[in-house]
Structure 1
Amino acid sequence: MHAIQALRFYVSTAHPCSYLPGQQASTLFVDPQHAVDAEQYAYLSELGFRRSGRHIYRPHCKSCQACIPLRVPVERFRPSRQQRRILQRNQDLNVRWVPLRWQDEHYALYARYIEQRHRDGDMYPPSPEQFRGFLLEDSGFSQLIEFRLTGRLLAVALCDQLENGLSAVYTFFDPDENARSLGRFAVLWQIQEAQQLGLPAVYLGYWIEGCRKMSYKCEYRPFELYLEQHWHCFDERYTPPEQDAVHGI
């Protein structure tokens, strides 16, 4: 019996979609009372699941399949000219893994980031309780990555390290450092780290065609999308089929 057969799954009730106006969303998630280990989560990530706090989930919407899992096969990845400039621009940063624990400095940066960049999002207004629940839930396979300039904290990334890759859960950064493109640099650093660790992929969560906040995920090429229960590789931007074709109508 495979390890995930012992898990229980639930489907949430329909609720307004956070990404597509006018759409109703529902979610398939693992029973949060069951502790999911790294082997189980690695297998679930191959099926398009994602982690947020203590919840491991996958979109399960009846009328929409716009959320598509995306990962970067790191050995095939080649940075674009713009990405090489971002790497060059940030070569003066000191980057290190740190344990998953509360630090006042981390929360202060997170609060600034949410207040200045995401006042229209679900995480506004920020709070210590929200921060702990979202970013400091100890899964047993999660760590934080700090990005510093001569000691000054510029960015923090939450990353899950699994046997099949790194899962980039969330990144927050100094909103006044626009020129550095810190969010993109954090992804590039995790791709390089996965290469050094001998891991095959970096998982970037879900991509939605037409959603501006998620458009950056297709910049890391080639990328793979989880479509029709298989991972498919694309060297260029993916164009989804018409909705009738997606749902087989």
Structure 2
Amino acid sequence: MTVHHPQTPQFFLTSPSACPYLPGQAERKVFTHLVGDRASGLLDLLSQGGFRRSQNIAYRPACERCRACVSVRILVDEFRPGRSMRRVIARNADLVGRMSEPSPSSEQYSLFRRYLDDRHTHGGMSEMSVLDYAMMVEDSQVDTRLIQYRERGPDSAFTTASDGDLVAVALSDVMGDGVSMVYSFFEPTESARSLGTYMILDHIERTRRMGLPYLYLGYWVNGSRKMDYKIRFQPQEHLMAKGWERYEG
């Protein structure tokens, strides 16, 4: 029997649950599946409307009483790092970032666990097993890349053989108009490096070199300290009721 997938994606709505960003609020999400040959094109289209990817699901907030979640993308060609961001780049000059196909490893998972145990003890991902992690990395039908950041060795310009310890990892999607940072994590004991900031700066430069105009950062929530860092990377655009609008706060 031949199974025909519908040409128009089907959308579903989750039940209300506690908002992880604003106390006292409830969140709901609308989502659809990203499957088959059309997955990449569908993700490109949905990203324009503020959707994000998690494995083979594209979702966006659909809360009944709140519109605090705002989709953010950086205008990479116009972005210029300020003094503090240039210091972050300099502090991490001893790192090398390797981009590859999304392939999980026990080394990555160990770093992932240290990050969760330090930063997100009670978060929704805190109970993820090594198999859950592998699914997060591998379960994608779009153009997904894994960037691993390691201490630079004496021969890192020529070979990976002398690369040092793994200190940060980013899982990112390459789309038609930009790069979307899906998830990233880093060594919690290396707080002086500001690795979260550094990975965004590195992705801005990678996106620019690819000739793509936007780096998608997901959602910014005004009033949530967890999301404050995203507003620092300007100029950027926010998805508002009439479409994407330039933001320079």
**TM surpasses 0.5:** yes
**Could you list the runs of 5+ residues in structure 1 that have no partner in the other structure?**
237-249
Decide whether the 8 Å contact of 1:156 with 1:171 is kept in 2.
Answer: yes
C-alpha RMSD of matched pairs (Å)? 1.6
Could you report, residue by residue, the CA deviation over 1:3-31 in whole angstroms, capped at 9, with x for unpaired residues?
A: x9621111111121121111111111013
Equivalent residue, structure 1, for 2:198: 185
Closer, same or farther in 2 for the Cα pair 1:34/1:57, shift >3 Å? farther
Report the Cα distance in structure 2 between the residues aligned to 1:87 and 1:32, rounded to whole angstroms.
35
Decide whether the 8 Å contact of 1:115 with 1:125 is kept in 2.
Answer: no
Equivalent residue, structure 2, for 1:136: 138
Could you report, residue by residue, the CA deviation over 1:98-148 in whole angstroms, capped at 9, with x for unpaired residues?
A: 221121111111011111111021111331132123333132310100100
Runs of 4+ in 1 over 2 A off after TM superposition: 31-36, 132-136
Report the Cα distance in structure 1 between the residues aligned to 2:242 and 2:182, rounded to whole angstroms.
22
Q: 1:155 aligns with which of 168, 172, 184?
A: 168
Q: 3-state SS of the aligned residue for 1:6?
A: coil
Equivalent residue, structure 2, for 1:89: 91
TM score, norm. by length of structure 2: 0.89
| Deviation larger for 87-96 or 161-170 | 87-96
Equivalent residue, structure 1, for 2:104: 102
Identity %: 38
Report the Cα distance in structure 1 between the residues aligned to 2:106 and 2:134, rounded to whole angstroms.
12
Report the Cα distance in structure 2 between the residues aligned to 1:229 and 1:202, rounded to whole angstroms.
20
Decide whether the 8 Å contact of 1:12 with 1:26 is kept in 2.
Answer: yes
Task: Please say if 1:206 is aligned against 2:208.
Answer: no
Report the Cα distance in structure 2 between the residues aligned to 1:22 and 1:35, rounded to whole angstroms.
41
Report the Cα distance in structure 2 between the residues aligned to 1:65 and 1:222, rounded to whole angstroms.
22
Equivalent residue, structure 2, for 1:241: none
Closer, same or farther in 2 for the Cα pair 1:5/1:212, shift >3 Å? farther
Q: How does 1:1-249 map to 2 (within 5 A)?
A: 6-31=8-33, 36-149=38-151, 150=153, 151-236=164-249
TM score, norm. by length of structure 1: 0.89
Decide whether the 8 Å contact of 1:54 with 1:133 is kept in 2.
Answer: no
Number of residue pairs aligned between Structure 1 and Structure 2: 233
| Deviation larger for 31-40 or 15-24 | 31-40
Report the Cα distance in structure 1 between the residues aligned to 2:127 and 2:216, rounded to whole angstroms.
27
Report the Cα distance in structure 1 between the residues aligned to 2:125 and 2:117, rounded to whole angstroms.
9
Equivalent residue, structure 1, for 2:156: none
